[in-house]
Amino acid sequence: MSIVQNILDILRDEMTNRDIGRLKRVVIKNGQLAGVVTEAMQFAWEALTPGTSEFDGAKLEIVEIPLKVSCGKCGTEFTPDHNRYMPCPSCEEVLGHNVLEGKELYIDSIEPADPEE
Ligand SMILES: [Zn+2]
């Protein structure tokens, strides 16, 4: 819940900056390692947004970003099948990889509601 609360606060600020009164759609990128379950976020959104003047009826779209790492030994970039056990496809090194993508959680885009709606 608190993460969605947080996102709603950021959205409110952003909407004020852009002079948007009501939101139609928001796209959020959710990395595989960000630690937030997409379904839980969707659930919290549906619990918190109805009846609010800014977000009532707005659609939350969550795009999941798969994990991408580069091998700490040979530098090969790959997407592991597993979050904790990540053998490199080139040299089979398991430890010391660098996470390139998949830790992030951010608002990707927002779409204002049509004025007449
Ligand atoms: Zn490697």
- Domain ranges (residues) in the chain: 1-66+102-117, 67-100
User: How, if at all, do strands 68-70 and 98-101 pair?
Assistant: antiparallel
Q: How many angstroms is it from 95 CA to the middle of ligand 1?
A: 10
Given the candidates 3.40.50.261, 3.90.79.10, 3.30.2320.50, 3.30.9.10, the CATH classification of the domain at 1-66+102-117 is: 3.30.2320.50
The alpha carbon of 76 and the centre of ligand 1 are apart by a number of angstroms equal to: 5
Residue 117 has pLDDT above 70, yes or no: no
Instruction: Give the residue-averaged pLDDT of 85-112.
Output: 96
What whole-number percentage of the chain has pLDDT above 90?
90
Q: How far apart are the first and last CA of the chain?
A: 28
CA of 36 to the centre of ligand 1 (A): 29
Spacing, Cα 41 to ligand 1 middle (Å): 35
Q: What is the pLDDT of residue 82?
A: 86
Residue whose tokens read 């830790």:
103
86 Cα to the center of ligand 1, angstroms: 10
* Distance of CA 5 from the midpoint of ligand 1 (Å): 40
In this predicted structure, what is the pLDDT of residue 1?
A: 58
| Model pTM score | 0.84
Split at pLDDT 50, 70, 90, the class of 116 is low
pLDDT value of position 57: 95
d(CA 32, CA 104): 8
Q: What is the dihedral sign for C-alpha 50, 52, 57, 62? A: negative
Average pLDDT of the residues in 63-68: 95
Could you give the 3-state DSSP secondary structure of residue 82?
A: coil
